[in-house]
Amino acid sequence: MLENIWKREIKSKDINSDNTQLDKDIIISNHPVCLSELECGNSVKVIKLQGNRVLINKLKAMGIYAGITIIKKSAILAKGPIIVEKGAMQFALGYDIAKNIIVERL
């Protein structure tokens, strides 16, 4: 009886470790995500800008629009400003603004 319990325990651990690896593969994959959800230091391609016309025009005035490459330099964990780099320029974007920028990892 103890052998059966031990075998079940090992099988459940193997299943859980496979799920953990699967979760890591999903996180690393190239699916579009919000800029606010992305890890710092990643170079990304902007896929789409969401939000109202005023916000989109403001981002375009900064040179942030669909198709360009930016780097997420740093972020404050408590939904604070996010620093992005585009070429030689760096911008601080509010968390709510960064949620409206859909990006894809390069």
Q: What does the pLDDT profile of the chain (106 residues) look like in tens digits?
A: 545 544 555 444 454 555 555 455 545 567 899 999 999 999 999 999 999 999 999 999 999 999 999 999 999 888 889 999 999 999 999 999 999 999 999 8
**Sign of the torsion angle spanned by Cα atoms 105, 82, 51, 88:** negative
Q: Position of tokens 């919000």?
A: 34
Please state the pTM of the whole predicted model.
Answer: 0.71
Q: Where are the domains of the chain?
A: 1-30, 32-105
Tell me if 39 sits within 8 A of 27, measured CB to CB.
no
Tell me if 34 sits within 8 A of 79, measured CB to CB.
no
CATH architecture of the domain formed by 32-105:
Roll (2.30)
